[in-house]
Amino acid sequence: SQVERDLSEPSISDLRQIAECLGVPMSMLFAHSAAPADEQGYVVRAGSRRPMGSGEEGLIEELLSPDLTDDFEMVHSTFEPNSRMQTPANRPTQEVGYMISGRLNLTIGSREFLVTPGDSFRIKHEPYQWANPYDEPAVAIWVIAPPVY
């Protein structure tokens, strides 16, 4: 009821559960600006990216893909300073990330990695968790197949 009254915003985890209960893609729960008719399905302008989630866990995501009709989705992810993923994810996906700036601690399966600008990584049907215990944001481009939003 707090969400309905605009007193709080649901986390990505909450939205995933709501979408699952409703039987809809999670992307249906996000607002976005409509692109001009000749650009729809082709171009996403920087100021028109579809925000994903609330940022409650310290993760701000924007959809870079024009829509969710492809076999993958591309997401711009900003991990706020001193934030961490609260619950490990274990999705039936293949995910590849490319670090643009900052540092990110990744746990993939039982292995731990520090990724920095220019590094890339892959998560393939394994549980993972991220943490940014540093004082600056970390920014990554994340490609996920099949789409989860």
Q: Is the pLDDT of residue 109 over 90?
A: yes
**What's the CATH code of the domain at 98?**
2.60.120.10
In this prediction, residue 99 carries a pLDDT of: 98
In this prediction, residue 70 carries a pLDDT of: 85
Residue 7: inside a domain, yes or no? Answer: no
Residue 49: inside a domain, yes or no? Answer: yes
Residue 5: inside a domain, yes or no? Answer: no
Residue 1: inside a domain, yes or no? Answer: no
In this prediction, residue 47 carries a pLDDT of: 82
Residue 106: inside a domain, yes or no? Answer: yes
- The pLDDT mean for the chain works out to 85
Residue 99: inside a domain, yes or no? Answer: yes
What's the Cα-to-Cα distance from 105 to each of 34, 84, 112, 134, rounded to whole Å?
Answer: 35, 9, 7, 10
Q: What sign does the CA torsion over 14, 20, 32, 144 have? A: positive
> Which residue, among 20, 26, 85, has the nearest Cα to 56 in the 3D structure?
85
- Domains: count for the chain: 1
**Tell me: the pLDDT tens digits for 27-61?**
555 555 566 777 777 888 888 888 876 677 899 89
Q: Which domain holds residue 27?
A: 12-145
